Every structure is written in structure tokens, then in C-alpha cells.
């Protein structure tokens, strides 16, 4: 985990320094305000990509969550909404189905 973070930090620093020198070589002193904008955008983009990759590896991408259901306390029926269709009882235990849950909760 620490090596992966160090790898991303090294990649972002090397790319940002190369962009900084490249823009300075191409534009001269006029590149001063723009290189900071490009480098900050690059840090944000690389951080977003690393976070998305880590979330994908753990199976936690947005939109991939399981559906929320309820389990009736009286009859044990699974249902959506606030009233059990089998016995008419209100309230129940919230059950998360789907997703990447090793406990099956």
C-alpha cells in the first residue's frame, strides 16, 4: 500500500516537473501562471485516477451498490417500502443485498 502511494507520488512529481520545464522552454517567462494551473489540475487528475482504481479494486464503484430491502419482524418477509405486503406490519430490519459484502448482510 505504501509502495503504491509512493509510486503515484513519484509519477505525479516527475510529470509535473517535466510539464513545468517544457512549458518554460516553449513559452519562456509567459508560462509562469499557466504552469501552476496545469500542475494543480494534473495532481487532481492523478489523485482521482488513483482513488478510482483503488475503489474499483475493492468493488466500491459508485452505482454498483446493492439494493436496500427490509425484513419484516413478524413474518420474516423481504420487501421494499415501509409496509410488509404479507402481514401489513410497519417497520422492519434494513437488509443490504448485493455489493461486495463478505458477511452477507
Convert the pLDDT of each residue in 40-82 to its tens digit: 888 888 888 888 888 777 766 666 555 678 888 888 888 888 8
Mean pLDDT of the chain: 77
- Per-residue pLDDT at 105 exceeds 50: no
Q: Which three cell numbers stand for residue 89?
A: 406490519
For the chain, helix (H) and strand (E) counts, in that order, are 2, 3
- Could you tell me what percent of the chain has a pLDDT over 70? 81
Of the candidate ranges 31-35, 67-71, 86-90, 97-101, the one whose mean pLDDT is the lowest: 97-101
Amino acid at each position: 500500500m505504501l509502495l503504491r502511494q509512493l509510486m503515484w507520488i513519484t509519477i505525479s512529481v516527475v510529470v509535473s516537473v517535466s510539464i513545468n520545464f517544457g512549458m518554460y522552454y516553449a513559452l519562456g517567462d509567459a508560462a509562469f501562471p499557466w504552469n501552476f494551473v496545469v500542475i494543480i489540475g494534473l495532481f487532481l487528475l492523478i489523485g482521482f485516477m488513483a482513488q478510482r482504481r483503488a475503489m474499483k479494486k475493492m468493488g466500491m464503484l459508485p452505482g454498483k451498490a446493492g439494493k436496500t430491502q427490509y425484513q419484516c419482524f413478524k413474518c420474516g418477509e423481504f420487501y421494499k417500502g415501509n409496509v410488509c405486503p404479507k402481514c401489513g406490519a410497519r417497520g422492519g430490519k434494513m437488509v443490504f443485498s448485493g455489493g461486495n459484502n463478505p458477511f452477507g448482510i
